[in-house]
Each structure stands twice: as structure tokens, then as C-alpha cells.
């Protein structure tokens, strides 16, 4: 009986948390800075698009989107992932120094945008909103249009703990039960899980995060994909080599991730886990259509962007995204 009730409890938890998140995020709105800093969105957009255009490896869209995800999954979308660890022997490490965040990138782009905004509109635009805008603008670059509207009005958190990042960020080795529970704790449901996993259509994964699957006798990686990955990685402990998460179109934000998934070629255990649950697996075929995936992703990423936000008098507007105001 426990196994039957558990999914129902998770579903109820997700509904309750989603309702709380929606209430907390009620003041988020499009063009929040229309009067207080009219140039805010244009400043972030121009800086991000220029940096993406100048990036020959086209790695920045994936980095900025991942930065947004990792921020929202710990303490909500409050830019706590941007804070540097405090100095001192007794100081707790910040989120960015946790193992899951060691390979994050895009901090310099956020810093640049924030510095310009502070010159134009001091103390007005939050770092959390810069992260949300930068992710959207970087992904939108290839399309020449904004893929989704970003609701704004977040404020910045004043705490950041590596231990929380280690506990809260979904592991690439997680099974479906752990993934569903982790997403439900943020007010996100199975559909959100499946759609947001589609972000693995761009970017790279380091070998040590998935190669144990390749060298296991019970490997679930598709035979056609396993051999070249084994050759690239060499050993399960290789943490220096990274490979494309979507080898068919690694630099394009598209629906090819789901094509790979249907063929059993998901890179991480957490990708393959989506096939182990009938609800999740039943969504994958439709998501191989790019127009449908992009439409659904728009809704899911906006929902994620409302997780645990600080608004009103909560938190602060950091002057420097790396440190709390003194």
C-alpha cells in the first residue's frame, strides 16, 4: 500500500508547494522595471547577446541556463549561487563551492551586466533577475527572438551554503523516485521534470558523472552510444574530459534530447530514469516535436523561475552579486 500512496503524497505536496510559490510570486510581473529602470532588460540582453555571439564554442547558453537552474533549486531563485564563500577558518562554504556547482559558468557575464545596471540604476535591479534574464536571452540567441517572457521582481538572498546545494540539486545519478521527490519539494511536478530535463539538449557532461554506467555490466546506455563514450572517457574516474550531452546537435537548443532518450542514449542515469516511469515515458514521444517542446519549455521554465522567490521587503538588492550588502 505504501508504494501506491507515495506518488499521491508527492503529487499533493507538489500541488501545495506550487500554490505557495504562486502566492509568494504574485508580485512578479513582466516589465517590472518599466518605470524604475526602463533600460534594465535591454542592458542585460545586449551584454548577453554580445557575449554569446563572441563565444566560438557556443558554450555560454548552456552555462547561463544551468546557472539559473542551480540557483532556483537551492533557497529558490534568489541569486544565492552567486555569493562567494566568506573568508575565515570557521566560515561555511557558499553554494558555488559545492561539488555540483564547481563546473558552473557565466558568473562573469552576470557581473558585467550588474555593473552596468548599477551605473545606470543604482540599487534597483536584483542579481536574481539578472540571472533569470541572462538565461532567457542566451537560449533565445539562436532563434533571433525571445523564447519566453521573464517575470521580474525577485530580490536577492543573503545566505548561501554549500551543504544545501549538495542536498538540493538533483544528482545526475538519481533514480526516478529521487528526481520526482526533489522536484515535488520545489512545487514542480512530473511534467516539469520531463520538460526541464530537455535542457540537456545543450552543453556538456563530465565523464565522472556518467561513465560508471558505461563500464558497468548492467549498462543502460544504448549500444551505439556507449563505445565512443567509453573511448572518450577512458575510465569512470575521469573528471577532466567532458562530452556533449546531445551529440546530434550539441550547440542547438532543440528537441533532439528526446530523440536520443527514445533510443536509450540519455547521457546521465537521471536521463535514463525518465524511461522507467510510465507517466514520464509517455510524454517523451510528443516532446520530440520541436515546436511542442519549445512551447512546453516556456511554461516549465517560467514556473521554475517562481520557486522560492523573495519579493517586497524580503532579502535585498545586492550592489555586487558576489557579496551581501554591508
Question: How many angstroms separate the CA atoms of 37 and 142, rounded?
Answer: 27
Which residues are documented as binding site for substrate? 170
Residue identified by cell 542551480 is 70
Residue 16 resides in a domain:
no
CATH number of residue 264's parent domain:
1.10.520.10
Cα-trace Rg, the chain: 19
Close Cβ partners of 304 (under 8 Å, ≥ 6 residues apart) = 69, 72, 77, 186, 188, 192, 196
Among 132, 128, 117, smallest CA distance to 36 is for 117
Residue 72 resides in a domain:
yes
Burial of 280 (C-beta count, 10 Å sphere; 0-12/13-18/19+):
buried
Residue 33 resides in a domain:
no
Residue 75 resides in a domain:
yes
CB atoms within 10 A of CB 185: 15
Residue 212 resides in a domain:
no
Which residues are documented as binding site for Ca(2+)? 71, 74, 76, 78, 80, 95, 201, 246, 254
Domain count, the chain: 1
Residue 199 resides in a domain:
yes
Among 326, 321, 317, 323, smallest CA distance to 152 is for 317
The catalytically annotated residue of 31, 35, 70, 206 is 70
Question: How many angstroms separate the CA atoms of 13 and 7, rounded?
Answer: 10
Q: Are 302 and 188 a contacting pair, CB within 8 Å?
A: no
Residue identified by cell 524511461 is 275
Which residues are documented as binding site? 71, 74, 76, 78, 80, 95, 170, 200-201, 246, 254
Close Cβ partners of 19 (under 8 Å, ≥ 6 residues apart) = 187
The per-residue pLDDT string of the chain (326 residues; one tens digit each, 9 = 90 and over) reads: 344 455 555 555 555 555 554 445 557 999 999 999 999 999 999 999 999 999 988 899 999 999 999 999 999 999 999 999 988 756 789 999 999 999 999 999 999 999 999 999 999 999 999 999 999 999 999 999 999 999 999 999 999 999 999 999 999 999 999 999 999 999 999 999 999 999 999 999 888 788 777 666 555 555 556 778 888 888 777 878 888 889 888 889 999 999 999 998 899 999 999 999 999 999 999 999 999 999 999 999 999 999 999 999 999 999 999 999 98
Question: 238 phi and psi, to 5 degrees?
Answer: -70, 110
H-type alpha helices, the chain = 2-24, 40-53, 60-72, 107-120, 127-140, 162-168, 176-184, 190-196, 211-214, 223-233, 256-262, 269-272, 278-287, 290-304
Question: How many angstroms separate the CA atoms of 187 and 243, rounded?
Answer: 31
Residue 23 resides in a domain:
no
Q: What is the DSSP string of 258-311?
A: HHHHHTT--SSHHHHGGGGSHHHHHHHHHHTSHHHHHHHHHHHHHHHTTTT-B-
Buried b / exposed e along 98-120 (16+ C-beta atoms within 10 A): bebbeebebbebbbbbbebbbee
Residue 173 resides in a domain:
yes
CB atoms within 10 A of CB 23: 8
Specify whether 31 is catalytic.
no
Question: How many angstroms separate the CA atoms of 143 and 235, rounded?
Answer: 38
Question: How many angstroms separate the CA atoms of 321 and 64, rounded?
Answer: 15
Which residues are documented as binding site for heme b? 200
The predicted structure's pLDDT at residue 6: 56
Q: Are 60 and 106 a contacting pair, CB within 8 Å?
A: yes
The predicted structure's pLDDT at residue 10: 54
Question: How many angstroms separate the CA atoms of 212 and 219, rounded?
Answer: 8
Domain region containing 153: 39-203+245-305
Amino acid at each position: 500500500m505504501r508504494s501506491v500512496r507515495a506518488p499521491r503524497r508527492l503529487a499533493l505536496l507538489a500541488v501545495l508547494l506550487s500554490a505557495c510559490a504562486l502566492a509568494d510570486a504574485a508580485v512578479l510581473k513582466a516589465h517590472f522595471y518599466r518605470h524604475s529602470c526602463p533600460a534594465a532588460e535591454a542592458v542585460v540582453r545586449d551584454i548577453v547577446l554580445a557575449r554569446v555571439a563572441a563565444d566560438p564554442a557556443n558554450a555560454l547558453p548552456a552555462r547561463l541556463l544551468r546557472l539559473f537552474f542551480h540557483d532556483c533549486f537551492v533557497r529558490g531563485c534568489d541569486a544565492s549561487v552567486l555569493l562567494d564563500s566568506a573568508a575565515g577558518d570557521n566560515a561555511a562554504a557558499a553554494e558555488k563551492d559545492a561539488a555540483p556547482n564547481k563546473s558552473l559558468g557565466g558568473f562573469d557575464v552576470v557581473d558585467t551586466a550588474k555593473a552596468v545596471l548599477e551605473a545606470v540604476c543604482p540599487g534597483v535591479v536584483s542579481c536574481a533577475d539578472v540571472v533569470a534574464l541572462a538565461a532567457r536571452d542566451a537560449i533565445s540567441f539562436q532563434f533571433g527572438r525571445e523564447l519566453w517572457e521573464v517575470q521580474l521582481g525577485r530580490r536577492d538572498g543573503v545566505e548561501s551554503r554549500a551543504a544545501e546545494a549538495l542536498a538540493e540539486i538533483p544528482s545526475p545519478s538519481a533514480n526516478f523516485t529521487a528526481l520526482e521527490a526533489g522536484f515535488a519539494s520545489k512545487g514542480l511536478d512530473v511534467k516539469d521534470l520531463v520538460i526541464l530535463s530537455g535542457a540537456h539538449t545543450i552543453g556538456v557532461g563530465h565523464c565522472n558523472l556518467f561513465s560508471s554506467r558505461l563500464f558497468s555490466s548492467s549498462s543502460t546506455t544504448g549500444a551505439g552510444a556507449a563505445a565512443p563514450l567509453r573511448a572518450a572517457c577512458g575510465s569512470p574516474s575521469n573528471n577532466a574530459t567532458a562530452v556533449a550531452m546531445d551529440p546530434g546537435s550539441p550547440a542547438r537548443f532543440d528537441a533532439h534530447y528526446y530523440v536520443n532518450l527514445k533510443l536509450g542514449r540519455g547521457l546521465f542515469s537521471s536521463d535514463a530514469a525518465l524511461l522507467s516511469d510510465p507517466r514520464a515515458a509517455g510524454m517523451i514521444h510528443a516532446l520530440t516535436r520541436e515546436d511542442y517542446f519549445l512551447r512546453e519549455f516556456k511554461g516549465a521554465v517560467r514556473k521554475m523561475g517562481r520557486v522560492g522567490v523573495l519579493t517586497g521587503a524580503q532579502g535585498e538588492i545586492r550592489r555586487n552579486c558576489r557579496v551581501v550588502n554591508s
